[in-house]
Amino acid sequence: MRTVVTGATGLLGEEVADWLAGQEGHELIGLCGRRDLDVVDTRAVVSFMCRAQPDLIVHCAAERDMDAAERDPKAAYMLNTFGTWNLALAARLCDCKMVFISSEAVYSGEKDAPYTESDLAAPLSVYGWSKLAAEEEVKSLLERYFILRVPLLFGAKGHSDNNRILNFVRALRSGKCVTAPIDQWTSPTYARDVAMAIGCMTRSWAGGRRVSCCFSNGSSERTRAQSEYGVYVVANQGKASRYEFACKLAELASCDGSLVRPGSREGKPARRTKNTTLDCARLKRDFGFALRPWEDALSECVQSMGLFSQNTLRQL
C-alpha cells in the first residue's frame, strides 16, 4: 500500500511515517513541508497526488499554535481548513482513502465527563473552528476516511525547538520555574501510540482483511464493517491537568519538582478549554484495542529520549 504522510517532520507526522515505513507492504512518501508540497496550492496538490497515486493519505500537517491561529485567523484557515480540502479533493479524484488528524479543541470543554465522538462540537478558538471546518470538508468529499480527534500530544520526534518535553526539561535543569495550568484537564497522549493506532486502523486496507496489531487483545480479527469509517477520539487512558502532567514529567526526568508552579488557562489570546478528557470506547469496540495509560507512555517516552539522567540528556 502506497501512503502519503503530510507533516512528516512534525511530532506526530514523523512517528506515523516511521511506523508505516517499517511495516511490510507499505511504500511511504513523506512530505516534509512546503519544500515538498504546498498543501494550500490546489493545483499542486492534485497534480502531485495524481502522479503518486497513493492508496492512503495521512494528513498530519497543520498550524497547531493556538495563539498564532487566534492572531492570524486567515492563515490558520488556509492551512488547516483549505489545505485539508485540497487533500480530500485529491483523495476523491484518486479514489484514495484518508486519515485526517483533528483535535480535542473542537469541543467546548464545559462537559464534566470525558468527551466522545457523539458529543456536540463547539470550539472556543479559531484553531478549534479551523479543525472542525476541516472535518466537514473531509466528510463532504469522501466516504472512506478516518477523522481522529487527538488531545495534548507529547513525544520524542519532530522539531527539537518545539518539543514540549525537551523544552520543559531544559528549563528545569537550568533552574527556571515552569508554570502549567492547574485548571485545564486533558488525556495526555504519546504521539507514537497514535501512530501505531493509525497503523492498526488502516492495515486491513492493504489486503482487504484485518490482521493483528500491536494493541491486539484477542478481538481484533473481526472483519471490518463499512460503519467503522468516520470520527474517532484517540487518546491514552487516564486524565491529568497540565500541571499534573508537568509534575509527572519532572519526576520521571529527575528534575526539581518545586520549580513546577500551578497556573491558569486564562489570559492567553486563544481561549483554552477546561476539560477535554476523551472516552475511547468506540475505538475499542470497533477495533478491539485501547491505548495504554498515559503515565506508562510518558515513562517510555522519557526513557527513549535519554532524559533519566543529566549525562544522557540529548539535544540540550
State the pLDDT at residue 214.
Answer: 53
In percent, the amount of the chain with pLDDT more than 70 equals 90
pLDDT in tens, 136-147: 999 999 999 999
Residue 79 to residue 134: CA distance in whole angstroms: 10
State the pLDDT at residue 205.
Answer: 59
- Mean predicted confidence (pLDDT) in 30-50: 96
Asked if 7 contacts 187 with a C-beta cutoff of 8 angstroms, the reply is no
pLDDT in tens, 43-53: 999 999 999 99
pLDDT in tens, 201-243: 987 555 443 444 555 444 443 444 445 899 999 999 999 999 9
> Please, what sign has the CA dihedral across residues 119, 124, 130, 131?
negative
State the pLDDT at residue 161.
Answer: 87
CB atoms within 10 A of CB 227: 7
- The rounded mean pLDDT for the chain is 90
What fold, for 2-312? Rossmann fold (3.40.50)
Query: In the chain, where are the structural domains located?
Result: 2-312
Evaluate if residue 188 carries a pLDDT over 60: yes
Closest by Cα among 46, 283, 304 to 154: 304
pTM, full prediction: 0.91
> Please, what sign has the CA dihedral across residues 259, 263, 269, 270?
positive
Name the 3-class secondary structure at 4: strand
- Give the least confident one: 10-19, 78-87, 210-219, 274-283: 210-219
pLDDT in tens, 88-99: 999 999 999 999
State the pLDDT at residue 211.
Answer: 40
Strands 2-6 vs 178-181: parallel, antiparallel or unpaired: unpaired
CB atoms within 10 A of CB 202: 21
State the pLDDT at residue 162.
Answer: 87
